Amino acid sequence: MNARPSLAVAQRSLGDPSLSYPLLPPLTRGCPETSTPSVAYPLEVDYDYARVPGDLFAQAPLPDIARWSPLLPPLAAPTLGEGGTPLLEFDGVYVKDESRNPTWSHKDRLNRVTVSAAVAAGAPGVVVASSGNHGASAAAYAARAGLPAVVLASAESPPAVQTFVRAYGAKVLTVPADRRWPLLREIVDELGYHPVSNQSVTHTGHPYGPEGYKTIAYEVFAQLGRVPAAVFTPTGYGELVYGVWKGFAELHRLGVAAGTPAVFTCEPAAGGPTARALATGEPAVIVPAGHSAAYAILCDVGGHRGVRAVRDSGGQALLVSDDAMRAAQRELALRGVWQELSGAAGLAAFRALGREFDGPVVCVATSSGFKDLGVGGHRAEVVEDPTWRDAVSPR
Amino acid sequence: MNARPSLAVAQRSLGDPSLSYPLLPPLTRGCPETSTPSVAYPLEVDYDYARVPGDLFAQAPLPDIARWSPLLPPLAAPTLGEGGTPLLEFDGVYVKDESRNPTWSHKDRLNRVTVSAAVAAGAPGVVVASSGNHGASAAAYAARAGLPAVVLASAESPPAVQTFVRAYGAKVLTVPADRRWPLLREIVDELGYHPVSNQSVTHTGHPYGPEGYKTIAYEVFAQLGRVPAAVFTPTGYGELVYGVWKGFAELHRLGVAAGTPAVFTCEPAAGGPTARALATGEPAVIVPAGHSAAYAILCDVGGHRGVRAVRDSGGQALLVSDDAMRAAQRELALRGVWQELSGAAGLAAFRALGREFDGPVVCVATSSGFKDLGVGGHRAEVVEDPTWRDAVSPR
């Protein structure tokens, strides 16, 4: 595919939209002017929207997000065929199955963009702190681009996920949880490795990252032939929900779509920094986090992006219990879609909300069931003298 | 998507192409006339090729194989968005990444078709004997279609795969290996469940199954814009390789493509019934099988389909060692594609062959690394006082 040139022009502060910075270097520690010792504001990417090709949204939503390159930062890293995931309909609810990406989660859309930034910056490597999906995805894209990768992993990851994160040849260091972010900063400072995860007091992450998630909105619009009424996304730091929201907002701004959806952040009830920040009116907060098996989205540190997506879209910040996620996980599995527990948070929150919408509802399902806690933990007993009656006996 | 009607007209014997049978019921025990007590001949599906719509191969290769419905048996079961997988290029070799299917293997293309046959037949359920991918995929499609499924599993499956097979709500019976096929027949006879795996002395499987795999050929043709020179496929019973070959043969027959590729069966050296049958000139054989970690394609019982695909295409039957598969698995992982060992057999065989081709070479990579033996078997040690120097220390 011959990608068209990027129209990215600047980094713009989410703390004060009148503040903008050159596109390079990526401001990976948040907005230097509006951030304070207790709250950091992310940056996002601004484009020359007047020059967006008129036929951009007429194309088929196939894999390789380079097809949307005018509205992405420059893609200097090669593709693994991210995106182009199916939108499935189950009794009127649409499920965007992101387990169909190269490393079987939505994170691949982000890492195509952030590893591209590392390549463009001439960095000697990539570093990421992650409990699973993000680390494996960054390792895969770094490997594809020929860059060394360091993954700072947590010891609590499920065993199958530990194998997964190590599969792509990265240097994986399993370190105590409280050492991960300081060590990441050290590796950035001492080795010049490009960071593709967070370094700030509240979450800002990579300024380019959510741009990759915008492509979910472009695909959903193409697949539905219209804008949905509501989108429910599993939410950790809020990069996914912000990207999806921004994609729909762009479609509206460009006159391609007639409106925008309400977007809903769906966080484990044991944490929920986005819901807390919206409830208290703060830009971003840190909360105590209890226990949840949805480890991929359980956060104590929140960020401003989720707050903005909910507020700007007229959505809502929802909290979901582990039981509700388990029920949604089972509902999806009994329709043939096996998600990790976190991946079912969107559907769980939609079911718990119990609200009718005047238009299609899309639940983003983020990741394969293979990444769940407990996978591989149980060996089946052998039935020694089976007959056909065993096939219909109660379980 | 509004699927166009199927042009399937009959089942045709691979034992004698002048023998054909009505499309229903599917002859799941092989050709009733040409099969003998020691060799069974499969059936395949024949179509009214004269009526294939002229624009069928002009469309984008998106998910949901119903887009190819004129050249498939009737699709009575709903889609999970199978197919539409990316074709990745690594230094001139193309890799068709089938880990991007709904249950993360190529088997989903087959099960959309075979579970459709079960629905069309009005069967009260589906039964399958499988060590992993095939069972999970059949369970997922049966769940989606609202049919009960019984999976006869082997105790040797990796623990993560055991969780996977159980995820979709099927009745999973783990039974001694030598009981699997007799028990499957009992369940078919006593309960009327539709079988989606083999029941004959040499492998014939479901007559419709390989039709689903044809869509790989249609997609590769669209993605390359031409026919490849050679296709290397991981090979167990030979359903995949036959389907891929048939798809290319149809493109040629219909005047869409100028030629056909040579197709190569790639079997673990510890087994290799297809290679043996071709060497001895027999239609299908049973061989002693030794040990291989490529459990998904290690077969003692062979079938006639692989023999036909190799012979008719001018290809070759190749054997690969576990070491060669491990090297290819690592080569793929270091390019960002984590396959189970069996999934790397195609690339392994191409590398071992060391032959140049006058045109593109496609290696089919069948399934996610999460299904491999040994996944989750090793817990990482925690580095207690890490510094940035640990990030660049030798492993």
A177 — pLDDT class (breaks 50, 70, 90): confident
Cβ contacts of B376 on chain A, cutoff 8 Å: 158-160, 162-163, 375-376
Does A2 have pLDDT greater than 70?
no
Token digits for A224? 């539905």
pLDDT of B143 reads: 98
| Position A15 pLDDT exceeds 70 | yes
Amino acid at A150: V
Nearest to B70 by CA among B84, B59, B81, B80: B59
Find the residue in B nearest to A146 (Cα). Answer: B335
φ and ψ at A89, to 5 degrees?
-115, 125
CB B117 within 8 A of CB B208: yes
Q: Which DSSP letter does residue A24 get?
A: S
pLDDT, average across residues A310-325: 98
pLDDT at B247: 98
Contact B162 A380 (CB under 8 A): yes
B12-25 mean pLDDT: 97
A186 to chain B, minimum CA–CA distance in Å? 6
Give per-residue pLDDT as tens, B117-170: 999 999 999 999 997 999 999 999 999 999 999 999 988 889 999 999 999 999
The verdict on a CB contact (< 8 Å) between A172 and B380 is: yes
CB nearest B168 (choices: A172, A333, A377): A333
Nearest-neighbour CA in chain B from A9: distance (Å): 30
Question: Which of B140, B330, B369 lies closest to A336 in CB terms?
Answer: B140
Residue of A nearest to B383 (CA): A175
Cα–Cα distance between A48 and A212 in angstroms, integer? 17
A100 chain-B contacts, CB cut-off 8 A: 63, 81, 100-102
pLDDT at A156: 86
Q: What is the reported pLDDT for A38? A: 97
Round the average pLDDT of chain B to a whole number and report it: 96
For chain B, list the strands marked E by DSSP.
8-13, 20-21, 43-47, 87-90, 93-97, 126-130, 149-153, 171-174, 194-195, 230-234, 262-268, 316-320, 361-365
**Cα separation, A368 vs A372, whole angstroms:** 8
The answer to whether B174 contacts A380, with C-beta atoms less than 8 Å apart, is yes
**Cα B286 from Cα A291, distance rounded (Å):** 53
Of chain A, the percentage scoring pLDDT greater than 90 comes to: 94
Contacts of the segment A351-358: beta carbons below 8 A, 24+ positions apart: A351/A324, A351/A327, A352/A318, A352/A320, A352/A324, A353/A264, A353/A316, A353/A318, A357/A229, A357/A230, A357/A262, A358/A229
Nearest-CA distance from B279 to chain A in Å?
Answer: 37
Q: Is the Cβ pair B64, A86 closer than 8 Å?
A: yes
Residues 6+ apart with CB under 8 A from B203: B40, B42, B237, B238, B284, B299, B301, B302, B303, B305
Cβ distance B80 to B105 under 8 Å? no
pLDDT tens for each residue of A326-347? 999 999 999 999 999 999 999 9
The ipTM of this complex is 0.97
Q: How confident is residue B2, by pLDDT bands cut at 50, 70 and 90?
A: low
Check CB contact under 8 Å for B162 and A378. Answer: yes
Chain A hits for B395, Cβ within 8 Å: 171
> Distance between CA B248 and CA A359 in Å, rounded?
42
**Is B293 in contact with B373 (CB distance < 8 Å)?**
yes
CB contact under 8 A, A79 and B88: yes
Residue of B84, B384, B386 lying closest to A183 (CB–CB): B386
Residues A49-76: what's their mean pLDDT? Answer: 97
Q: At CA B332, angle to CA B105 and CA A60, rounded to 5?
A: 60
All structural domains of chain A: 1-116+201-374 (3.40.50.1100), 117-195 (3.40.50.1100)
Q: Which helix (H) or strand (E) holds A71?
A: none
Mean pLDDT over A106-128 rounds to 98
On chain A, the residues whose CB falls within 8 A of the CB of B149 are none
Considering only CB atoms, B369 lies closest to which of A167, A171, A369, namely A167
Which among B152, B169, B374 has the least Cβ separation from residue A333?
Answer: B169
Burial class (CB in 10 A: 0-12, 13-18, 19+), A331: middle
Q: Is the peptide bond before A360 cis (omega within 30 degrees of 0)?
A: no
List Cβ neighbours of A42 (8 Å cut-off, separation of 6 or more): A14, A30, A31, A203, A204, A205, A207, A303, A304, A305
Does pLDDT of B395 surpass 70?
no
B158 upstream amide cis, omega within 30 of 0: no
* B350 within 8 A of B357, measured Cβ to Cβ: no
Partners of residue A150 in chain B, C-beta under 8 Å: 391
* DSSP β-bridge partners for residue B20: B12
Do residues A229 and A260 lie in contact, with contact meaning Cβ atoms separated by under 8 Å? no
Cβ-defined contact of B370 to A374 (cutoff 8 Å): no
